[in-house]
Amino acid sequence: MPIFTLFTKIYNYFSVRRRILYSATLLGIVTCILVFSSIDLHEDIRSMLPDDRSEAALDFRLLQQAPFTRKVIINLSRAGDNDSSELLEAVDRLAEAMRSPFFTNVVTGPSGPDIWELFFWLMKKQPNLATAQDRKKILHELTAEGVQGKLEEMYARLHSPEGSALKGLFRLDPLALRRMGLEKIQFMNIIPGMRLENNHFISTDNKNALIIADTPVRITDTRQARQLLSYFQKLVAAVVPGDIDVSLISGHRYTLANTDTIKRDVFIILACSSVAMLAIFLLFLRTWGGLFVYLVPVSVLCIAAAGVSLIYETVSVVTIGFGAVLLGIAVDFALHVYFAVRHNSSNPAGAIGQVSRPVLFCGMTTLAAFSVLLFSSLPSQRQLAIFSMIGIAASMILSLITLPHLVRAKNEAIVSTKSSGEKIFKLASKWIVGAWLALLVICAWQGAKLSFDGDLRSINRVPQEIHTAENKLRQTWGNFRGNAVIFTEGLDLQSALETNERLFDYLSPKIPKGKMVSLAPILPSLGTQRLNQDRWNELWSAKKELARRLLVQEGRVFGFSARAFEPFFTRLAEPSPPITAENLRKSGLGEIVDALIISADDKVKVLTLVPDVPEVAALMDRRDKTLAAVRFVSQNRFSQIISRAIGEDFTKFIAKASVVVCLLLGLLFRNIKKVLLALVPVVSGLLFVFGVMGGLGIGFNLFNVVAAILIIGLGVDYGILVVCKISEGSNHATEKAVFVSGLTTLAGFGALVMARHPALHSIGVTVLLGIGAAIPSALFVIPALYQKKYEQSKTGNSVIGSR
C-alpha cells in the first residue's frame, strides 16, 4: 500500500472516531508528563566518556584510582602572622566534628609515630634498602679523610645545644649513612608544599593546613552531595573561627555546579524557545489549529524523556537540555502537515496523503542520522540518540495521525498570493549560486583548520569560586592532584613491586629530584631486599674492621672513646627483617602506602606519580619492552586520547550518517541529481560550521559531533521538502513550511546559545551556524540550481506568503 494512501485511510478512519483518537493521544501524553515529572536527573562525567574497552575508557578508570581523586580535600588558611597554633586548633576541631555518614577516615597528619621514630626505623632498615649505588658511595667515603670529615662535623654539633639530643644518633650512625635513607624518603613526599607540625599537614608558609577525608557519598549523587556540602558549611560555621578561610575541593562541588547550571539552563532554554516559538506561530499561523502545532513539540519532549527514562536508569541533564533541539525538530513535521492541510482545506485526507511522503522521509533520514550515534562509545551520545529518535518518531506519529484532525480548516478560504521571494529567486539565481560557491570555498579553506578538543574541563562548567580554590590549593601545596600516574600491575604485590623498581630505575635519573613520588626506594620487592641485604652484609663483612679502625683512629683526635661507636657495629650485626607494606603503615607512612598501592580484582597496582608534562610522556613512550605492561595515565594524555577519539568518531559518524542519508535519498528520489540537490543544505550547513569554527579557532568537542549529526538530519529534511516541492509540484506551501520550521529550529538553538553550560552552549552555537546556513541554501540555492523545474512548479503552485 502506498504511503500516501495509508495516511489518507488513517485520516478517514479517525475522522469519524475523533474522540477516541483525542482521548488516546491525551492519555498517552499525560502519562508521559507524569513519568517525565518523576525523572531523577543526573550529571555524571562518566556519561561523556567511552564505556567500552577503549584506551580512553581504561585510562579514565585508572585516573579514578589516582591518589586524592576520590578524596575530599579541605584547606584551612589564615592570613596574618605565622603563628600556626590557632590554625591547627581549628583543624583539630573541624576534623573532630567531621563525622559519619558524610565523612570517614578524616586525616590531619600522619597517623603513625613521630618523625624521629620513622627516622630511626629507616636507619634500622638500611640493609634492606641500600642499593649498589649506595654501596659504592659508602666505599668511596670509607677513608681516613672521609671518616675524619664526618667526625669533625659530629664533634661540632655535640657542642651545640641540640648536641645532647643527637649523641645517641651519632653513636648509632657515625658515618651518617642515614642520609641515604633520607634521600629515599624524599620520594614519598606526595604533597610537595607540605611539612609537618605537631603531626599536622601544614604549608611551608605556616598559613595553610590540610584535612584529607573519605566520603561514602558518590560524586554523581547530586542530592547527597548537596547534603554533604550543606553539612560541611554548618560545621565550618560552628567550629572554625571567622578569620580562618575554609575551602573544600572534591568532585561533589563540580557535580553540583554543573547540575545547577544545566538545570537553570534547561529552564531558561525551554522558556525562551517556547516563547520564541509562540511568537513565530503568532506571526505565521495565527489560527486555533496553530496552537496544536505548538503543542506537538511540547508533547514530544515529554514522550522522549519518558521513553529514555524507561530505557535508562538515570537520565542526563544534558539529554533533557537537548530537548530544546528536539522541540525545533519535532515542530518541523507538525508545520509541514499544518501547512499542507490548511493549504488544501477542501481535501485534508488527500493533503495528508501527499505530505506524508516527504514528512516520513524527512523523519526517516533524521532518524537514520541519529541512529549512527547509537554505536557511539559515549553513553551520553547514545542516550541523546535514543532521546532524539523517540522524539522524532513520536513527532511523526502525532503530526501525521492526530494533528491533521486538529488543524483542519472549517470553511476557511485559502488565499494564495504572489511572493516577493519568487522575484528574488528569479532575478538573482546566478548570483545566489556564485555567492554560495564562494562561501563554500572560503568555508572549506577555513574548515581545514578545525581542531578537536578532548579536554573534558572545557565542556564542564567550573564556577569562579571553585577555580580560585583549586588555584590556591595548587599554589600552596603544589600540583599534587594534577600529577600523571604510572600504574604497574601484578598478580600480587611482589610482582607489581618488581616492575615498579624497574620503572624507578628507568625514570629516576631523568626526572628532577622532588618531582617523582615512588615506593620503590622505600619498599623494594622482597627479592631486591634480599639482594640489598646480601650486598650490605658482604660490604660490612669485608669493611667492618676498616671502619672500626678508622673510627677509633680518627675519633681519638676529637676525644671519642674507643667504644663510642660500638652501637653502630652492634647495629650492623643485627638482623633486618623484610620491609613490608604493613611495616610502612606502622611507621607512619600508612596514608602514602594506601594511596600508592591498590588491590582490586585479584590484582595489585603500584602507582608512581610524575609530573604531567610532555617530556615525561615522551620518556614513557620510549620505554623498553620490560616496561611495556606499565600504563602511563595523565589528564593531558587523556585529553589527547579523547580528542583523537572525538576526531575519529566525528569522521566515522559523519561518514555513516552521510551514507545512510544518501541511501535513503536514493530510495526516495531514484535520481542522482535530486539526491545531490537534497544534500545542498547539508553540505552548506556542515561546511559553514567547519569554516566558522576553524576560522575562529573554536575546538570541536564531543557535543559538536552530535550537533553535526543534527545538521545532517535537519538539513536533508529541508532539501527533501524543497526538492519534492519543485520536482513533484506538490501543493503544500513547502517554502513557507521550510522557512517557518527553520525559524522554529533556530529559536530552539538560539535559546541553547544562551546556556551557561559549555556543552549546551556548544551544541547551540554549532547548530545555529549549521541550520543558519542550511535554511537559506534550501530556500534559495536549490531553486537557483534547479531553476527550470522550479519555474514549472511555481506556475502551478503559488505558495510563499500564502495563508
Return the H-helix or E-strand segment holding 600.
strand 597-600
Nearest residue (CB) to another protein, 61 versus 195: 195
Cβ at position 161, least distance to another protein in Å: 4
Cβ at position 165, least distance to another protein in Å: 4
Find out whether 675 and 669 touch, Cβ atoms under 8 Å: yes
* Binding test (CB under 8 A) with another protein, winner from 36, 294, 333, 560: 560
Cβ at position 571, least distance to another protein in Å: 15
The three-state (H, E, C) secondary structure of 193-208, written as one string: CEEEECCEEEECCCCE
Q: What are the strands, taking DSSP E only, across 113-267?
A: 194-197, 200-203, 208-214, 244-249
Q: Distance between CA atoms of 710 and 367, rounded to whole angstroms?
A: 10
Nearest residue (CB) to another protein, 145 versus 465: 145
* Binding test (CB under 8 A) with another protein, winner from 165, 279, 629, 667: 165
Q: Distance between CA atoms of 608 and 516, rounded to whole angstroms?
A: 7
Q: Distance between CA atoms of 533 and 127, rounded to whole angstroms?
A: 5
Nearest residue (CB) to another protein, 68 versus 155: 155
Amino acid at 668: L
* Binding test (CB under 8 A) with another protein, winner from 71, 125, 150, 171: 171
Cβ at position 82, least distance to another protein in Å: 5
Q: Distance between CA atoms of 524 and 112, rounded to whole angstroms?
A: 21
* Binding test (CB under 8 A) with another protein, winner from 16, 79, 80, 161: 161
Nine cell digits for residue 535: 650486598
Nearest residue (CB) to another protein, 347 versus 561: 561
Could you tell me which stretch among 76-84, 321-329, 568-576, 651-659 binds another protein (CB under 8 A)?
A: 76-84
For residues 102 to 141, the per-residue mask of contacts with another protein, x marking binding by CB under 8 A and - elsewhere, is ----------------------------------------
Cβ at position 92, least distance to another protein in Å: 18
Backbone angles phi, psi at 212, to 5 degrees: -120, 130
Cβ at position 175, least distance to another protein in Å: 15
Residue with cell 565550618: 236
Of residues 563 through 592, those in contact with another protein by CB under 8 A are 564-565
* Binding test (CB under 8 A) with another protein, winner from 156, 279, 283, 438: 156
Q: Distance between CA atoms of 261 and 238, rounded to whole angstroms?
A: 29
Q: Distance between CA atoms of 45 and 69, rounded to whole angstroms?
A: 14
Could you tell me which stretch among 61-69, 150-158, 615-623, 687-695 binds another protein (CB under 8 A)?
A: 150-158
Backbone angles phi, psi at 194, to 5 degrees: -105, 145
Nearest residue (CB) to another protein, 566 versus 582: 566
| Residue 659 binds to another protein (criterion: CB under 8 A) | no
Cβ at position 71, least distance to another protein in Å: 27
Nearest residue (CB) to another protein, 161 versus 242: 161
Nearest residue (CB) to another protein, 477 versus 560: 560
| Residue 559 binds to another protein (criterion: CB under 8 A) | yes
SS3 245: strand
Q: Distance between CA atoms of 323 and 328, rounded to whole angstroms?
A: 9
Of residues 184 through 243, those in contact with another protein by CB under 8 A are 197, 204, 206
* Binding test (CB under 8 A) with another protein, winner from 23, 37, 160, 541: 160
| Residue 84 binds to another protein (criterion: CB under 8 A) | yes
Phi-psi region at 197: left, alpha or beta (left = phi > 0; alpha = psi -120 to 50): beta
Cβ at position 450, least distance to another protein in Å: 53
* Binding test (CB under 8 A) with another protein, winner from 38, 80, 82, 575: 82
Amino acid at 26: L
Nearest residue (CB) to another protein, 51 versus 197: 197
Amino acid at 360: L
Find out whether 18 and 401 touch, Cβ atoms under 8 Å: no
Cβ at position 170, least distance to another protein in Å: 8
| Residue 162 binds to another protein (criterion: CB under 8 A) | yes
Cβ at position 143, least distance to another protein in Å: 20
C-alpha angle 384/776/695, rounded to 5°?
70
Nearest residue (CB) to another protein, 64 versus 561: 561
Cβ at position 551, least distance to another protein in Å: 11
The 8-class DSSP code of residue 609 comes to E
Find out whether 401 and 341 touch, Cβ atoms under 8 Å: no
| Residue 81 binds to another protein (criterion: CB under 8 A) | yes
| Residue 283 binds to another protein (criterion: CB under 8 A) | no
Name the CA radius of gyration of the chain, rounded.
Answer: 36
Nearest residue (CB) to another protein, 83 versus 183: 83
Q: Distance between CA atoms of 309 and 320, rounded to whole angstroms?
A: 11
Cβ at position 159, least distance to another protein in Å: 4
C-alpha angle 221/226/227, rounded to 5°?
100
Could you tell me which stretch among 80-88, 315-323, 502-510, 756-764 binds another protein (CB under 8 A)?
A: 80-88
* Binding test (CB under 8 A) with another protein, winner from 93, 135, 167, 623: 167
Among residues 700, 615, 592, 746, the alpha carbon closest in space to that of 272 is found at: 746
SS3 517: strand
Could you tell me which stretch among 89-97, 166-174, 316-324, 348-356 binds another protein (CB under 8 A)?
A: 166-174
Q: Distance between CA atoms of 293 and 336, rounded to whole angstroms?
A: 10
Other CB atoms closer than 10 Å to residue 615's CB: what's the count?
11
Using CB atoms within 10 Å of the CB of residue 145, give its burial: 0 to 12 exposed, 13 to 18 middle, 19+ buried.
Answer: exposed
Nearest residue (CB) to another protein, 116 versus 288: 116
Residue length of the chain: 803
The 8-class DSSP code of residue 242 comes to T
Nearest residue (CB) to another protein, 45 versus 158: 158
Dihedral of the CA atoms 660, 663, 669, 670 (nearest 10)?
A: 180
| Residue 494 binds to another protein (criterion: CB under 8 A) | no
Cβ at position 471, least distance to another protein in Å: 24
C-alpha angle 454/651/668, rounded to 5°?
140
Could you tell me which stretch among 221-229, 560-568, 604-612, 727-735 binds another protein (CB under 8 A)?
A: 560-568
Could you tell me which stretch among 493-501, 561-569, 733-741, 748-756 binds another protein (CB under 8 A)?
A: 561-569
Nine cell digits for residue 2: 502506498
Q: Which residues bind to another protein, rule: CB under 8 A?
A: 81-84, 155-156, 158-165, 167, 170-171, 197, 204, 206, 556, 559-561, 564-565
